Structure 1
Amino acid sequence: MPTLEMLWESDDPTEVLRRRFGLADGRAIDEWLAEVGLHWGVGVTACRRIVMSDHNALAWLTTSAGALLAKWSVAHERFDRLSELADLARWLGECGAPVSVPVPTAAGSTSVCADGALVTLQHVVDGDHLDVANSDQVRSAGAVLGRLHDDLARYPRSERLRQPSPATTGTLTDRVSGWLDADRSNVPATLRTSLSERLVDAPTESVQLQLIHGDYRAANILCADGRDGRVAAILDLEEARFDHPVAELARSAVMLGTLFRDWGPVSPQVRADFLAGYQSHRALGESELRWWDILVGWYLLGMIPPDPAQDATGWRAAAEEHLHDVAP
């Protein structure tokens, strides 16, 4: 029986594997994965570990083709989109982006349906999650995001991934002001006022809208061993969507250090290094630079938990520091 883990949830992983994924025991896992491997023409000899989250699972496999990672979903309503995202990952890999590229099946596709699950296979990428204490890694991650945005802006099938969202139906000003107008009793009035004052001076000209990664942070960035801080792989394109690149840049800078549990903010220096890395590849325009400070403040305020007692990692303090530093 492989090691079973839950990524976010506290549920019993053995029960989750049985109830959500229909795999009752180690034998059932081995038999199903052996059948799945046939689509790729590989023999699966062992499954070492399975990690689950919601209706998705990852399995680390030993196969006749070496170490592979099987990724599957049983969320049927998402299959078409997940197939498109697998194709996107393949295209990005062909462009030279450091993404985890799906291994093509014997028929040349990036994914297959097997017993009610949509499955992809990927090579296992060596590396560790981004360490925000390593400034070289942080700058490298920023530069890679800049390049990724350039690549995603050129993706010829991007319209297939467009979905209705606040990002595609309103301006940045509408989004931030709408958020401020809602009930934000957990956010101190002084901080809401400070952000509102910054919003008065927000640029009125439109900001570029395009396909973005959607969840670019330490949990989805693997860095190679060594002193150069090189990004080995960008993981998990499942949140890809249309938004403004500067909005993703600001959100990623705020969320950069978050992994899977006990999220906390990074320092202003980490955000500055990340921005510098990004601009080393893709310089921000004047409007984007003005939006940067506003959006960083907005995302920091959005991370303040409802209960002050739950703010052990200091999101409120981080928001106070940023909005004080950028006060008019």
Structure 2
Amino acid sequence: MFPPGLSMLWESADPLGVLKERFGLASFDEAAGWLTSVLGQAWALDVQACERILISGDNAIAWIRTNRGTLVAKWSRDQDQFVKFAATADLQHALHRQGVPVAPPMASLNGQYRVIIDSLSITVQPHIQGGLLDTTEHYAVRGAGVCLARLHNALATQGDSRLTALGRLTGRSLDLRHRIETWLHHDDPGMVPAASARLRDRLTALPPIDSEPQLVHNDYRASNILTSGSEILAVLDFDEVAVDYCVSDLANTFVVLGTRFTKWQPTPERVRDIFLQGYESVRPLTALERRWLHVLVLLRGIQAIPPGDDPAGWANAV
């Protein structure tokens, strides 16, 4: 899936320069040596080889062969997120115990699933061999819909205050009407005025939603869904977990389901329908949730339109 050695996930930058600037490591070998020391110290792992390191923003991911199999180590320098990262590691452990397909973090020697060493927050997870969700494989798409509904049901039972407080801390309004009206008034770039007008009209006729906000994944798309055939092997990357409505998470997924790192394209209507069939086989929407879904999909679709050239046809998709 990714080349061996050192590379960037999506940024156009020299990975060696970024490795030095962001993590203070001058080379791939130096990074592998540092990682070997850290994992031996905190997890008692014997690292036999580091195959690749991928840098994404303030985060890095390494694939390593150890005495306990192939593992994935992730670390971050974003100290403002350290409390959340620790909470999401605990969350993934809890979801694993509930039977949700995730890559469960490995407990360190002190029992923590996320450890702070050298001013970096580090976690270790098993490497799960699989491919990214292919939205042309309709059975897998339906399975991904089933999986998201089960994930939503499981997340509804989680009450970690470090995460449930996110609804207050992120500045995201939990009043959907206010959120959309604010965006239309202050942030709409006006690239598709007809679509924005439809959004205003549909919003005016909607009563308040008849569900409660809860924890949601907030980044459920192809690059975070590992599959084997039609089976969902694991949902990855809980770094964007937030408090919101399930239908808002579903709307975001409708729009970005097929996106992969630097490859972004709208989700075809047929794929959305199949995904929703799977989702509603586990968690049926109320009539009002369905109306809000249409509005939120339109909002998210407008927001996804890139400035300048639009070769993937995002503007046409709304």
Work out whether the TM-score is over 0.5: yes
1:223–1:231 contact (8 Å) kept in structure 2 = yes
Instruction: Work out which of the residue numbers 172, 176, 188 in structure 2 matches 1:184.
Output: 188
Deviation at 1:19, TM superposition (A): 1.4
2:174–2:244 contact (8 Å) kept in structure 1 = no
Aligned to 1:222: 226
Superposed CA offset, 1:209-233 (max 9, x none): 0010111111111111x3xx11101
Superposed CA offset, 1:55-92 (max 9, x none): 10000001111101111011122212111111111111
Note closer, same or farther for the CA distance 1:213–1:172 as it changes in structure 2 (3 Å cut).
same
Aligned to 1:301: 302
TM-score, normalised relative to structure 1: 0.91
Aligned to 2:317: 318
1:203–1:290 contact (8 Å) kept in structure 2 = no
> What amino acid maps onto 2:177 in structure 1?
T
Superposed CA offset, 1:92-131 (max 9, x none): 1111100111011122211212222111111100111111
Deviation at 1:205, TM superposition (A): 4.5
Aligned to 2:36: 34
Secondary structure of the 1:20 match is helix
> What amino acid maps onto 1:127 in structure 2?
G
Superposed CA offset, 1:143-163 (max 9, x none): 111000111010131554422
Which stretches in structure 2 are left out of the alignment for 5+ residues?
Answer: none
Deviation at 1:207, TM superposition (A): 3.0
Aligned to 2:16: 14
Q: List aligned pairs for 1:218-297, cutoff 5 A.
A: 218-224=222-228, 226=229, 229-297=230-298
Alpha-carbon separation, structure 2, partners of 1:268 and 1:26:
43
2:190–2:196 contact (8 Å) kept in structure 1 = no
Aligned to 1:325: none
Q: List aligned pairs for 1:41-120, cutoff 5 A.
A: 41-120=44-123
Alpha-carbon separation, structure 1, partners of 2:91 and 2:187:
38
Alpha-carbon separation, structure 1, partners of 2:196 and 2:80:
38
TM-score, normalised relative to structure 2: 0.94
2:84–2:162 contact (8 Å) kept in structure 1 = no
Alpha-carbon separation, structure 1, partners of 2:179 and 2:285:
21
Superposed CA offset, 1:228-270 (max 9, x none): x111010000000100000000110111011111311011111
Note closer, same or farther for the CA distance 1:84–1:159 as it changes in structure 2 (3 Å cut).
closer
Deviation at 1:188, TM superposition (A): 2.4
Q: List aligned pairs for 1:157-176, cutoff 5 A.
A: 157-158=160-161, 160-163=163-166, 164=168, 165-167=170-172, 169-176=173-180
Deviation at 1:12, TM superposition (A): 0.3
Aligned to 1:207: 211
Note closer, same or farther for the CA distance 1:183–1:235 as it changes in structure 2 (3 Å cut).
closer
Alpha-carbon separation, structure 2, partners of 1:204 and 1:16:
46
Deviation at 1:182, TM superposition (A): 2.6
1:92–1:151 contact (8 Å) kept in structure 2 = yes
> What amino acid maps onto 2:15 in structure 1?
P
Deviation at 1:187, TM superposition (A): 2.4
Note closer, same or farther for the CA distance 1:314–1:64 as it changes in structure 2 (3 Å cut).
same
Note closer, same or farther for the CA distance 1:258–1:148 as it changes in structure 2 (3 Å cut).
same
Superposed CA offset, 1:38-66 (max 9, x none): 22111011101000011100000011111
Note closer, same or farther for the CA distance 1:284–1:15 as it changes in structure 2 (3 Å cut).
same
Alpha-carbon separation, structure 2, partners of 1:27 and 1:171:
50
Deviates more, 1:65-74 or 1:30-39: 30-39
Alpha-carbon separation, structure 2, partners of 1:208 and 1:170:
9
Alpha-carbon separation, structure 1, partners of 2:227 and 2:68:
24
Compute the RMSD of aligned alpha carbons: 1.5
- How many pairs were matched up? 312
Aligned to 2:140: 137
